[in-house]
Amino acid sequence: MTFEVWAPRARRVRLSLGDDVVPMAPGEGGWWLPEEDPGAVADGTPYGFLLDEDDRPLPDPRSLRQPDGVHERSATFDPGAFEWSDQAWTGRQLAGATIYELHVGTFTPEGTLDAVAERLEHLASIGVGFVELMPVNAFNGTYNWGYDGVLWSAVHEPYGGPAAYQRLVDACHRAGIGVIQDVVYNHFGPSGNYLPRFGPYLKEGRNTWGDLVNLDGEGSEEVRRLILDNALMWLRDFHVDGLRLDAVHALLDESEAHLLEQMSVEVAGLSAHLNRPLTLIAESDLNDPGMVTPREAGGHGLDAQWSDDFHHAVHVALTGETDGYYADFAPLGALAKVLDRGFFHDGTFSSFRGRDHGRPVDTERMPTWRLVVCAQNHDQVGNRARGDRTAEHLDTSLLLCAALLTLAAPFTPMLFQGEEWAASTPFAFFTSHPEPELARATAEGRLAEFEQMGWDPEEVLDPQDPETFERSRLRWDELAEGRHAVVLAGYRRLAALRRELPDLTDPRFGRATADEDRRRLTLDRGAVAVHLNLGEDGWEVLADEVLFSTTDGVPTGPVDGGVTVPARSGVLVRARTAAGGRGPLH
């Protein structure tokens, strides 16, 4: 290590290395370097920086390891020392793949990266192409969702640290599964952020989660470099296959080239160098296809973005819940529109926002895999008062309707941990802030958020209660029991159909029609079709073969011209098509 540090605000900098203190000299552009070469340093050696006259060393803003927490010194770590066994791994395209989102701390009883690696066979059995890890960067406390990170390059030590992270990625690649890392560049966490002591990492103003990151003001070039280098680090040094960029609408950047555009350029260059695909996925609240429009056409050039509208439409159709932002999705036609056009709000009035929202997708030109959709995710489950899953409210058939819509829709499907077996455990919002005032502010903030959704404050779980975290751990002993086994078998069947049927991964938009009065929906995927019956009466549809049924015990196979879709159920059928035409007769 060279132990360089960018500290333009400091008048004096010293390196605290092991038991020694090494003077540092100012270099160009606010960078400081040791006056003398420290020589060879053993892996795991503690180090930090003393700014001005302080006698307490601060962690390295680019730290790769924080064995004693975010308030203590960093430790040296050589990412190049790991012996990779994934030389045959050539990467994976997002198109046609299924993503599986998980939280390392609650996915297994152990709550570690190594324990995740032991469950890869299960993930392969449900057709997972990418594991998407919720943020693993260092944060204060033991457990957290990860979005309160302050040292973006350090892997949270209770998860196993950076070496365990490399072992997990290597194991995923051996299992034929790619890794997407969820990263947060729109704010720093509230505890342990010493970066403003070093330089102008923040600028005036706040977003929902904290102070704004300085992407376009004085000194922003090095701040942007910290972010870009972090993105490249995950992809290059840790062999990650893609990044999920948290809440990019909160990246306020008026630079000539937006940070996202610059990132897409540099990641594309790294992809060419490594000779494997690298994927950037935006979580965006803007419903703006410009996120995934190529740079040559004036967009940011990202590969994909989340479409929350899909989740909202599916959730409302199956649960009937219309509080808060769900209100606009009450008609079944909202789901049909999302299936047809990618977004529901594509320039239409959003009652929750009180204004027009979104822009239309060019469905003739944009491939559907650029939109990542789900029936559940950490936000939509965890931001409920009790962290309750849809499995608590829906019967087995409707849970499999959600699976059918997600995995047979024309988009990139994403599953959330435990969804595939109707996990009985909630996924609540949990924190372990050691600071009493921060713990209190977090709990009060949750109550204020839920007022907008009209939920009972008495039901809101205390995020600081250790039991809130413990109850969110998945129970792997459920998989072979009762309806858990039935739902899991359904997900495995749908995974097999996605491998067998090219129409289910066709990158063209399908054709969806909704019968509002009878609560029926048909999605045409070429030679196959989804029929969803949310009404109270049976529905006769034409088909040559039933490929999947959400009704427990109903066999699949060839049918004599038609099939009955019972109430509150769905089927995937090989469609009977008109002569020379495309699409089912129904």
| Mean pLDDT on 77-86 | 97
How high is the pLDDT of residue 577? 55
Rounded to the nearest 5 degrees, what angle is found at the Cα of 328, between the Cα atoms of 325 and 334? 125
Residue 399 sits in a domain whose CATH number is 3.20.20.80
Of these residues, 101, 148, 241, 246, which one is catalytic? 246
On whether residue 9 sits in a domain, the answer given is: yes
Check whether residue 260 and residue 138 sit in a common domain.
Answer: yes
Check whether residue 458 and residue 557 sit in a common domain.
Answer: no
Q: Please give the C-alpha separations between residue 216 and each of 184, 186, 288, 525, in angstroms, as whole numbers.
A: 18, 13, 22, 45
How high is the pLDDT of residue 556? 78
Check whether residue 555 and residue 458 sit in a common domain.
Answer: no
How high is the pLDDT of residue 581? 36
On whether residue 17 sits in a domain, the answer given is: yes
Could you give the number of structural domains in the chain? 3
Check whether residue 402 and residue 547 sit in a common domain.
Answer: no
How high is the pLDDT of residue 457? 77
Check whether residue 16 and residue 148 sit in a common domain.
Answer: no
Residue numbers of the domain that contains 319: 99-192+223-496
Q: How confident is the model at residue 552 (pLDDT cuts 50, 70, 90)?
A: confident
Cβ atoms of 421 and 391 closer than 8 Å: no
Check whether residue 127 and residue 174 sit in a common domain.
Answer: yes
Of these residues, 283, 288, 346, 503, which one is catalytic? 283
Round to whole Å and give the CA distance between 18 and 204.
37
Asked which of 205-214, 226-235, 412-421, 464-473 is least confident by mean pLDDT, the reply is 205-214
Predicted confidence (pLDDT) per residue in 474-514, tens digit: 999 999 999 999 999 999 999 999 999 999 999 999 899 99
How high is the pLDDT of residue 452? 64
Q: What is the DSSP letter of 584?
A: B
Q: Is 308 a catalytic residue?
A: no
Strand-pairing partners, residue 74, are: 47
Cβ atoms of 307 and 484 closer than 8 Å: no
Check whether residue 25 and residue 133 sit in a common domain.
Answer: no
On whether residue 116 sits in a domain, the answer given is: yes
H-type alpha helices, 237-277: 259-274
Predicted confidence (pLDDT) per residue in 389-434, tens digit: 999 999 999 999 999 999 999 999 999 999 999 999 999 999 999 9
Task: Give the number of other CB atoms < 10 A from CB of residue 44.
Answer: 12
How high is the pLDDT of residue 585? 38
Q: Please report how many Cα atoms fall inside a 13 Å half-sphere around the Cα of residue 319, on the Cβ side.
A: 22
Residue 570 sits in a domain whose CATH number is 2.60.40.1180
Q: Is 246 a catalytic residue?
A: yes
Predicted confidence (pLDDT) per residue in 132-188, tens digit: 999 999 999 999 999 999 999 999 999 999 999 999 999 999 999 999 999 999 999
On whether residue 382 sits in a domain, the answer given is: yes
Check whether residue 418 and residue 552 sit in a common domain.
Answer: no
On whether residue 290 sits in a domain, the answer given is: yes
Q: What rounded mean pLDDT belongs to the chain?
A: 94
